[in-house]
Structure 1
Amino acid sequence: MRLDRFLSETTPLTRSLAKRALKAGEVALNGEPVKQGARQIDPEKDAVTWQDEPLALLGKRYLMLHKPLEVECTARRGLYPRAIDLLDVPEVERLQPVGRLDVDTTGLLLMTDDGQWLHRITAPKRRCGKVYRATLAEPLEGEAAANAIARVAEGLWLDGDETPTRPATLRMLGPREAELAISEGRYHQVKRMFAALGNRVVDLHRRAIGPLELDADLAPGEWRALTEDEIALF
C-alpha cells in the first residue's frame, strides 16, 4: 500500500494534506522520517507514526443499529440527527448505511465501510428480502384482508411506476397490524403499497434484512458489531 493512501485511511488527512504532512517531516516509517507518499509499506509489519502518534488500519466494520424515530440515514447534516451520530466509533464518517430508512421509520439498519459487502445486499439483482411491520390507519380483516394478501402476492401497480411490484408476502397480525416481506427497494415502497390497497401506514418498523433479524436486546438508538456468522450471511 502507498504511504499517502495509508495516511488518508488512518487519519483525518486527505491525500493532499497527507502530502503536506510528509513534506513537513511529520511522518515516520519504522522510526525514520519519510517524505515520499509513493513509498510502498506493509500495514501489518511497518510502523508508521504521524506527529509521533502510531497509526493502524481500522479494518472493515459491520454494525447493526436499532434506528429510532427522527433520525436520518444521510451523510449531510440536516434537521434531524444522523444515524452515524449514534455510533461511538473512530472515523465514523466512513461508515455508510446499507439501504435507508425514512426519518419516521424505525428498526434494523446495517452500517459498514465495506463497499463490496454493501453492494451484495443492496444490488437490485440480488433481491435481498426485507421484512417490515406496519401499523395501519384503517382495519384490514376478513375478505378485504384476503383480497389484499392475494393482490400483494401477484404484484401491485404503484402510482407513477412503469412496472408492478415484485410478488411479496403480506401477513396480518391483527386488524391494524401487518407484516410485509418484499424483495426490492422502491421509493417509499411499503407506504405506497398500502396506499395502493386503500389504506395508510401510521407506524413502520423494519424487522429483518435477508436472514438477519434485529437484535431484540437493542433498544432504539443502540447498536452492536455483527458477529462473523452474521457477516457471512450476505
Structure 2
Amino acid sequence: MRLDKFICKSTELTRTEAKKLLKSGEVRVNGEVAKNAAMQVHENNTVTIDGQVLSARGSRYYILHKVADTICSNVDEVYPSVLHAIEVDKAFDLHIAGRLDADTTGLVLVTDDGRWSHNVISPKKHCQKTYRVWLRSDIDDDNLAALVARFDSGLQLQGEDDLTRPAILTRVAQADLVDETAYRSEVLLTITEGKYHQVKRMFAAVGNRVIGLHREQIGEIVLGDLAPGEWRELTEDEIAQFT
C-alpha cells in the first residue's frame, strides 16, 4: 500500500494533508524518515508520526446498484460520480473494481483494497461478468445457434488483433414478448474480460446494436433485489471470492 494511503487509512487526514505531513519529515517508517508518498509499506512495517505508531483501518467492500447517467470515477465530470451514492466516511477514498459506462446500469463493486480489486478486473483471473443486453435487431430461431457459436469461438473486434475470449450468449426474449418500439431482442451475455466498450463492440461485430445494458453478476456476487441507487456492504463470503 502507498504510504500516503496508509496514513489516510490510519488517521482522519486527507490524501493532500498526508502528503504535506510527509514533506515535513514527521513520518517515519521502521525508524527512518520517509517523505515519498508513493513508498510501499507492508504489514510488517512500523509507521509512526511523532513517535505514535499508526494502525490502518480494515479495508471496505461494497456493492452498488448503479443508475444511468452516473460515472465510475472518483471525480465528477459531465455526470456525477457513483461514489456520491455510498454514504460512508471518506467515500471518495474508495475506487471502483470494474467500471461501467455512464449509460450502463447495474452491479458495481467498490472498495479501497487495491489487491482485491485487481483480482476482480485482472484478465488473468478470468472472472465471469454477466450482462442483460437489449438489442435493436431480432435474434431469430434460424440464426440463434450460429450466433451462440460465434460468441463461444471469439469475435474479431474493430481495432483488436486477438479474438475475444469465449463468451456465453443466451436469448431471453424476442420481439413478440417485448415492446417493439424499445428493443427487438433481450439476451444474457457472460464474458471473462473487460475491453473498452466490449459488450457493445461484440454485438456491433455481428451486425446488431446495443440499446440497453445492465450488469447483473460478477463472479458469484449477484445484484439480486438491490434497488437502483442502493448499496450495501459485501458479506464475508462475497469478499472471500477475490482474496
Give TM-score, length-normalised by structure 2.
0.78
Tell me the residue number matched to 2:143: 144
**CA, structure 1 residues 8+213, in 2 after alignment: closer, same or farther (shift >3 Å)?**
closer
Question: Any unmatched runs of 5+ in structure 1?
Answer: 23-35, 44-56
Amino acid paired to 1:124: P
Question: Any unmatched runs of 5+ in structure 2?
Answer: 27-47, 175-184
Tell me the residue number matched to 1:172: 171
CA distance in 2, matches of 1:92, 1:104: 22
CA distance in 1, matches of 2:134, 2:7: 48
CA distance in 1, matches of 2:88, 2:189: 33
Q: Does the 8 Å contact 1:4/1:38 carry over to 2?
A: no
Tell me the residue number matched to 1:215: 224
Tell me the residue number matched to 1:14: 18
**CA, structure 1 residues 213+79, in 2 after alignment: closer, same or farther (shift >3 Å)?**
same
Structure 1 segments (4+ residues) deviating >6 Å: 3-6
CA distance in 2, matches of 1:113, 1:195: 35
Amino acid paired to 2:220: P
| Count of aligned positions | 206
1:39 pairs with 16, 32, 51, which one?
51
- Match of 1:203, SS? strand
Identity of aligned residues (%): 46
CA distance in 1, matches of 2:6, 2:145: 58
Amino acid paired to 1:167: P
> What's the CA shift for 1:18?
6.8
> What's the CA shift for 1:16?
1.4
Deviations along 1:111-134, one digit per CA (max 9) or x if unpaired, are: 000111111111111111100010
Deviations along 1:12-57, one digit per CA (max 9) or x if unpaired, are: 222314776x7xxxxxxxxxxxxx83625153xxxxxxxxxxxxx5
Tell me the residue number matched to 1:163: 162
Tell me the residue number matched to 1:118: 117
Tell me the residue number matched to 1:186: 195
Deviations along 1:135-176, one digit per CA (max 9) or x if unpaired, are: 101111111222111110111111111011111110000120
Q: Which moved more, 1:63-72 or 1:142-151?
A: 142-151
> What's the CA shift for 1:215?
2.9
> What's the CA shift for 1:94?
1.2
The 5 Å alignment of 1:60-139 reads: 60-139=59-138
C-alpha RMSD of the superposition: 2.3
- Match of 2:100, SS? coil
CA distance in 1, matches of 2:106, 2:54: 40
Deviations along 1:75-110, one digit per CA (max 9) or x if unpaired, are: 222110101111111111110100100000000000
> What's the CA shift for 1:6?
6.3
**CA, structure 1 residues 8+167, in 2 after alignment: closer, same or farther (shift >3 Å)?**
closer
CA distance in 1, matches of 2:172, 2:154: 21
Q: Does the 8 Å contact 2:7/2:54 carry over to 1?
A: no
CA distance in 1, matches of 2:81, 2:5: 27
Give TM-score, length-normalised by structure 1.
0.81
